[in-house]
Each structure stands twice: as C-alpha cells, then as structure tokens.
Amino acid sequence: MSILSVCGLEKGKVWRMSSFKTAIASALAAVALSAAPLSAQEPGVSDKSIKIGILGSLTGPLAIFGTGNLAGATIAFEEANAAGGINGRQIEWVSLDDESSPPKGIAAFKRLVDQEKVFAIFGPGASAVGQALIPSFKASKTPVFISVFSTPAVTEPPIRTVFRTGPMNDRQQGIAIADYVIEHLKAKKISLIRQTDEYGKRGGEAVVARLKELNVALANEEVFNLTDTDFTAQLTRTIKAEPDVLIIYGYPNPSAIITRQAKQLGLKAKIMGANSAGSRKYPEIVGEAAAGTQNIVTLQVLPEGNDPAAVKFRAAFEKRFPDLARQGRPDLGDVLAYGGGLAFVDALKRAGDKPTQESFIKALEGLKDFQTGLTLPTTFSAERREGNVAARIVEVQSDLSRKLLPAVVQDKSASK
C-alpha cells in the first residue's frame, strides 16, 4: 500500500495545509498496519518491500517544486511496481510536506530517518530547504537523491550520501548563462537582476564571477525578494544602464512579472532567464512581452512538445494527476522528478537482491550516461555527485509557443 493512495493523491489532489496533517497522520497509521516488518539490519527493507521517503514543499510559496517532486516520483515508482518492483520488492513511500520552511524541512528529514526508518530519501524540492539540511545530510547514513532543486551548497564540497540529477547546480548554470550571452548572444553590456534567497544568490554570484573571468563588467546588478511584485525601481536603473542582455535569476512568478514590467517600461535588452523560470506557463503569464525571451532549461525535450517521450509522459501524468493537468502541467519540476525517479529506480535494481544503503550508493556511483528521453543524461562516479552538467536553451516564439534551440551549454570546468 502506498501512502499516496491512502491520502487520496491518486485522484490528482494537491494537499492543502488545512488537510495535510490529518491526512498524513491517518496515512502513516494505515501504512504501519499494512507493511511487513522491516529488516533489523537495514532501514526500510523487508522481504516484500523497500520503503522510501519523499520530502518536498507541498504547500507554501515553493509548492510548485515540491508537488512536482512528489508527482514525478510517484509515477516512476508506480511504474516500477507495476513492472514487478525492485528485485521482487514493491516500493512503498512516505511523503512529508516541509511547507516551504527550512526548519520544518529539517524536522521532516529527521522524522523520515529516525521514525519512519526509510531506506533512502527522494528530495527535497527547494534550494532553501536543501541548503538548511546540509548538517542533517552529513550526520546521516541515509542516501538522498535530488532531482529538482539546484543550490550547489549540497554538492560542493560533495557529501557522500547526496546525489543530484536533473538541474545543473546554480554555480554551473551561472557559468553556462554567462558564457552563452557572450558567445551566442554577442552581448557587450550585461545587467543582472536576481532573488535575494539561496537560489538567486548562488546563481547570481556565479554569473558575476564568470563575467569577471571574461573581463566583462556588469552594467548594473539589482536584487529582489521572492514575494515582491513591483520592480519599477530596479528596472528604471537597469534601463538607464542600457544593457544588451538582462539576465533574470529568479523563480517563475517574479521572473514573469519582471519581464512584463521591463517591456512596459521600454527595456530594449534581450532577456535571458535561469532554469527555474523555464516553465511552460511562462509565456501565458507574461503575455506578448514574452516573445523573444530565452531561458536555460535542463531538459532534453519540452513537456508540451510532440516528441514521443514527451507525449507518453504527458498522457501518463494527465491520467494520474488530472487536477494538476488542468493547471497546465506536467511542467519542468514534474519532468525533472520523473527523470530522477527513473534513475533512482535503476540504481535500486542494481543495488542487489539484498540491498543495503551502501550498495545503493555504489550503484548510483556506477550510473553512466543514463537516458530517459526527457531529461539530459545522468552520470555519477565515486567523486562526482552532479549527475547533469549541461542544459539547453528554450526561446519563446512570436505566437508564444516555446522552441528548444540547438545550443547545448555547460560548465566546461565540470569533471566528467
């Protein structure tokens, strides 16, 4: 029995905070009654099941990422179970909501490890929560697999139990964006506007550092808070700086508002965004001002596209989560989590008939050029915890459709 089915997520519902605590308490009790006794030797493993924790922001301002983390993993795990499971074991999972709060993320991680005694954890879904969990990661033997958030703090320096695939980390993204606007967009004057949180700070710092290496000074740099809705002051200063390219390092909603307000105020610069804002809903939110804007995106194909892999996943997602589909999903986070879930499942299978947390870590370290058809290839090693070091560029067309450009960008200094 999956805790998701107990909570009714099979009906496509996204948990609201008002019902979450009651639902999760009931679900945990039901799973506890139905599960076979866990192995005394290895957390989360019984003869018939392997228990995984899914951690993410299901409520709060970062819920778009946490619900994506949960939805993508759910489909990957259910497909694995339908195909016979993991070496004869079914995957069971417990999902906890960190409510977009780092302290609550720390508490949820502790609960998954100490009380639920899960074999591994899939998530969390937000950079701010991940950054806050670093001491917990270091103190735990439980493997952690990240597929949505991008702060480099959890992998630089590497933590032995922590792996990430899907997004490039923000240091690598910042380098790749800086290189792209210089080499491909031929920019001479560049402005930057970024969030003040962990996500914007790390990505913005990387852009600035890389431009400095290339002997290109920023025309100006501006910051904003995640909840801001008026960017007139920042954009007025940016327009006076007369950049060729404006780089926006922020989440989808503020990035969309900045783009719309920039065009309204008369900004002539090309607008380039980070991976987080590479949402299929972005053109709709921005409107006609989105035409011509570009984003870095860490996908092989677009979720709304006609590629067979995209069509297949979209059909599965819409059937499994009809309520989310009516919101214009699957989107970036859903696809990244599904691709990560497939890599996670592959490593579970290769961890052996008697899996241990150590054999799972070794199996992940042996993952080479793992392909999903949706996400970019994943490669880990004994020294490497970043599964993906490349990205594509997506451009909004005049009809507000999105198109992947031929360019593949990457942090050229990343170890292979």
**416 falls within a domain:** no
- Whether omega for the bond prior to residue 124 falls within 30 degrees of 0, making it cis, is yes
Determine the Cα–Cα distance for residues 318 and 256; give it in Å rounded to an integer.
Answer: 25
**287 falls within a domain:** yes
Q: Are residues 124 and 259 in the same domain?
A: no
b/e code 176-200 from CB counts within 10 Å (16+ = b): bbbbbbbeeeebebbbbbbbebbbb
Asked whether the predicted pLDDT for residue 415 surpasses 80, the reply is no
Determine the Cα–Cα distance for residues 1 and 58; give it in Å rounded to an integer.
Answer: 21
Q: How far is CA 46 from the centre of its chain?
A: 30
Q: Are residues 224 and 276 in the same domain?
A: yes
| pLDDT band with cut points at 50, 70 and 90 for residue 413 | low
What integer is the mean pLDDT of 377-389?
Answer: 96
Who contacts 31 (Cβ-Cβ below 8 Å, separation ≥6)? 1, 2, 3, 6, 92, 94
Q: What is the pLDDT of residue 414?
A: 61
Any idea what DSSP says for residue 307? S
Q: What is the pLDDT of residue 387?
A: 97
Q: Are residues 348 and 396 in the same domain?
A: no
Asked whether the predicted pLDDT for residue 12 surpasses 60, the reply is no
Q: At what angle do helices 252-264 and 232-241 cross, to 10 degrees?
A: 60
**Residue 112 is part of a domain; what is its CATH number?**
3.40.50.2300
- The average confidence (pLDDT) of the chain is 90
DSSP string, 4-54: HHHHTGGGTPPPPHHHHHHHHHHHHHHHHHHSPPPPSSSTTB-SSEEEEEE
Q: Are residues 396 and 270 in the same domain?
A: yes
Q: What is the pLDDT of residues 364-380, one digit of tens each?
A: 999 999 999 999 999 99
What integer is the mean pLDDT of 387-393?
Answer: 95
| pLDDT band with cut points at 50, 70 and 90 for residue 28 | very low
What integer is the mean pLDDT of 64-85?
Answer: 97
Q: Are residues 286 and 200 in the same domain?
A: yes
Structure tokens at 135: 């001491």
Q: Are residues 10 and 159 in the same domain?
A: yes
233 by Cβ neighbours in 10 Å (0-12 / 13-18 / 19+) ranks as exposed
* Closest to 293 in 3D by CA, of 306, 305, 277: 277
Q: Are residues 151 and 225 in the same domain?
A: no
- Three-state secondary structure along 241-301? HCCCEEEEECCHHHHHHHHHHHHHCCCCCEEEECHHHCCCCHHHHHHHHHCCCEEEECECC
Q: What is the pLDDT of residue 11?
A: 33
Give the range of the structural domain holding residue 28, as residue numbers without chain letter.
3-166+306-385
Q: How far is CA 71 from the centre of its chain?
A: 12
Give backbone dihedrals phi and psi of 340, rounded to 5 degrees, phi first.
Answer: -65, -40
Determine the Cα–Cα distance for residues 32 and 118; give it in Å rounded to an integer.
Answer: 12
Q: Are residues 65 and 160 in the same domain?
A: yes
**193 falls within a domain:** yes
Who contacts 260 (Cβ-Cβ below 8 Å, separation ≥6)? 286, 287, 289
In the chain, the N- to C-terminal Cα span, in Å, equals 40
**204 falls within a domain:** yes
Q: Are residues 19 and 129 in the same domain?
A: yes
Q: What is the pLDDT of residues 295-327, one digit of tens each?
A: 999 999 999 999 999 999 999 999 999 999 999
**277 falls within a domain:** yes
Find the angle CA(338)-CA(123)-CA(113) to the nearest 5 degrees.
130
* Torsion of the alpha carbons at 34, 39, 43 and 46, rounded to the nearest 10: -50
Q: Are residues 192 and 253 in the same domain?
A: yes
Q: Are residues 70 and 26 in the same domain?
A: yes
Q: What is the pLDDT of residues 223-247, one digit of tens each?
A: 999 899 999 999 999 999 999 999 9
Any idea what DSSP says for residue 416? -
| pLDDT band with cut points at 50, 70 and 90 for residue 416 | very low
Q: What is the pLDDT of residue 378?
A: 97
Asked whether the predicted pLDDT for residue 39 surpasses 60, the reply is no
Q: What is the pLDDT of residue 21?
A: 43
Q: What is the pLDDT of residue 276?
A: 84
CB 250 within 8 A of CB 195: yes
Q: What is the pLDDT of residues 122-157, one digit of tens each?
A: 999 999 999 999 999 999 999 999 999 999 999 999
**Total number of residues shown for the chain:** 416
Asked whether the predicted pLDDT for residue 19 surpasses 80, the reply is no
Q: What is the pLDDT of residue 60?
A: 94
Determine the Cα–Cα distance for residues 50 and 39; give it in Å rounded to an integer.
Answer: 10
Asked whether the predicted pLDDT for residue 24 surpasses 90, the reply is no
Q: What is the pLDDT of residue 278?
A: 86
CB 392 within 8 A of CB 173: no
Q: What is the pLDDT of residue 38?
A: 41
**212 falls within a domain:** yes
Give just the sign of the alpha carbon dihedral 350, 3, 335, 387.
negative
Percent of residues in the chain assigned helix, strand, coil, to nearest 5: 45, 20, 40
Q: What is the pLDDT of residue 34?
A: 41
Determine the Cα–Cα distance for residues 294 and 376; give it in Å rounded to an integer.
Answer: 19
Q: Which of 31-40, 163-172, 205-214, 272-281 has the lowest mean pLDDT?
A: 31-40
Q: Are residues 207 and 80 in the same domain?
A: no
Amino acid at 327: Q
Structure tokens at 282: 């972005």
Q: In total, how many domains does the chain have? A: 2
| pLDDT band with cut points at 50, 70 and 90 for residue 217 | confident
Higher pLDDT among residues 366 and 11, named by residue = 366
**132 falls within a domain:** yes
| pLDDT band with cut points at 50, 70 and 90 for residue 41 | confident
Asked whether the predicted pLDDT for residue 176 surpasses 50, the reply is yes
Q: Percent of the chain at pLDDT above 70?
A: 89
156 by Cβ neighbours in 10 Å (0-12 / 13-18 / 19+) ranks as middle
**415 falls within a domain:** no
